[in-house]
Structure formats: C-alpha cells, structure tokens
Amino acid sequence: MTKAKKKTNSSAIQRRLIPSYIFLVIVCIISVFPIYWMLTAATNTSFEVSTGKIWFGSNAIVNFQGLLKASIGSGAPLGKIMWNSFKYAGVQTLLCIFTCSLAGFGFELYHDKRKDRLFAFLLLAMMIPGVATLIPLFRMMSQFHLLSTVAAFILPGISTPFMIMMFRQNSRNFPVDIMEAARIDGLSEWAIFYRMYMPVMKSTYAAAAVITFMNAWNAYMWPRAVMSDNSAMTMQMLVANLSNGYSVDYGVLMMGVLFCSLPTMIIFFVLQKQFAEGITGAVK
C-alpha cells in the first residue's frame, strides 16, 4: 500500500518534471552538437562538410595527412608542436602549483595582520587585464632574450592570485594541531610543508593542476606574442593558422581542432570532478 502510494507519488513528481526534462534535452543538444559535429567533420572531406553531412565519413586518414602537411607548412611538424604545448603547459603547471601552494600555506598557516594585508593587496592583480601588461611584458622578455623560450611562456602564469587564494582557502581544513605536534617532534617548517601539507592537500593539488594545465594549454594571446619562432609554436597557434588560408579545408581544420582539444577533452572526461573543483576552487 505504502509502496504503491510512493510509486504514484514519484510518477507524479516525474510528470511535473517533464518541462525540465525537455528544457535540459534542448540545452544538452545545443551544448554537445558543435563538438559532435567537429568530430564528424574531422572524418569527412571538405566538400562533404560543406554539403551538410553530419555523420562520420572515411576521410580521417587523408585529413590527418593534410594536417601533417599543413603543420610542416606552418613551420614545424605536428609532433613537435604537440610536444611544445605539452612541455609549456606541463612545466607551467608544476611550477604554478608548487609556488602557489607554498604561498597559500604561508599566508594561511602563518597568518598575521601584515600577511593578510599583503594578500589583500595581491588580489588586486586579478583586476589587471592580460592585454594591459602585454606590451611591457613583451618588452621585458625581449630585453632578457627570452622570446620563444619556455621561460617566456610560463613566467607570467606561474604565480596567480586565483591559485594562491585557492590554496589559502583550502588550507583552512589543514589541522593546525598536527603542526604543533610535528614541531615538538623536531620537524622543520619546510618538512611540515612537504611531508605533511602536500600529502594532506592532494585533492586541492589535483584540482589546481587540472585548471592550470587547461589554461596553459588553451593560452593564445600571450604565446602568439612571445613564441614567434616557428619551432616554438603551440597547438592553438597552429589551428588558428589553419583557418587563415585562402580556401579552408574544413576536414583538415577540424582534424586540427580535434588534436588541439583532445588533451583537454580527456582531462574533462577523466577528471571532471577536479576540473569543476578547480574553477570554483577559491570560492568556498
């Protein structure tokens, strides 16, 4: 009896949710379709793409070869460009999470009035638009002969107020009593950081790493300014070049977009939880 009642009750609830379902399905179709279309276009000829084919074709290998040729035409082999993007994003991620976690640790667990004030001041840097510092930073990099080096790519992205804030907020969950106990046991402050803080904060590190890697991989304006050598090119620069030709081969272009998005898509599907935590990380 109660079971039957519950059942009708829940089906009534589901019936009331029908408009929600319809709305969600429409939104989901719009959200996913362009990505799905990109995948199909990467397997079709440019002609098939422009005649509106939206199913997978058999031209993937030809498109891939076209992409290889186009990347060499842009100045570097595809493998090299992929490796560049991985290298820059990887190095930036490692240095960023190390530097910012160290700072978050210092700001929260050793906090006093002066440190809090300094932190509030650092937050102001969030208001500085990337384009505003573009010219001075570009001149700085060229002055120190860093153009087209890893250093030029990563230096402005190693320390960001957002990441420091994220580690600082999450450090509140770090048990302070343990620190006292560790000090009595004779652990140095540095040892507390890398032997205790780093393992305890694993999930924050994961979220920070995912978001930093994604941002570095997707960066476009800054790399275009400072990575001007062909051999230093990134995937974003390569695909942007692909669409600049006189006649665009849509199959090849979408194959390029696919390669450009593959790492971030894999991260998205495998580490979605960490990704979501990463973007909302500092807002707790």
Partner 1 sequence: MSKPKSIQAKQQRAGWLFLAPATLLIFVMSFYPMIQAFIISLKKGSSANMQWQEPLFHNYERILQDKTFLTAMGNTFLYLIIEVPIMLILAILLAQILNNKDLKFRGLFRTMVFMPCAVSLVSYALIFKSLFATQGLINTALLNIGIISENINWLGQTTTARAVIIMGLIWRWTGYNMVFYLAGLQNIEYSVYEASKIDGANGWKTFWYITVPLLSPVIVMTAIMSINGTLQLFDESVNLTNGGPSNTTITMSHYIWNMSLGQGVAKFGYASALAFVVFIMVGILAFISMKVGDKRD
| Span 243-262, contacts to partner 1 by CB under 8 A | 243, 248, 250, 253-254, 257, 260-261
Residue 208 binds partner 1 (CB under 8 A): no
Query: What is the distance between the terminal CA atoms of the chain, rounded to a whole angstrom?
Result: 45
The residue range among 58-66, 69-77, 187-195, 201-209 that interacts with partner 1, by the rule CB under 8 A, is: 187-195
Nearer to partner 1, 76 or 192 (CB): 192
x/- binding map, residues 18-47, to partner 1, per CB under 8 A? --xx-xx--xx-xxx-xx-xx--x------
Residue 129 binds partner 1 (CB under 8 A): yes
Residue 186 binds partner 1 (CB under 8 A): no
x/- binding map, residues 143-162, to partner 1, per CB under 8 A? ------------xx-xxxx-
Tell me how far, at minimum, the Cβ of 79 lies from partner 1, in Å: 19
Tell me how far, at minimum, the Cβ of 242 lies from partner 1, in Å: 8
How many whole angstroms separate alpha carbon 14 and alpha carbon 1?
20
x/- binding map, residues 47-86, to partner 1, per CB under 8 A? --xxxx-x--------------------------------
Work out which of 87, 138, 151, 196 binds partner 1, going by CB under 8 A.
138
What phi and psi, each to the nearest 5 degrees, are found at residue 187? Answer: -75, 140
Residue 196 binds partner 1 (CB under 8 A): no
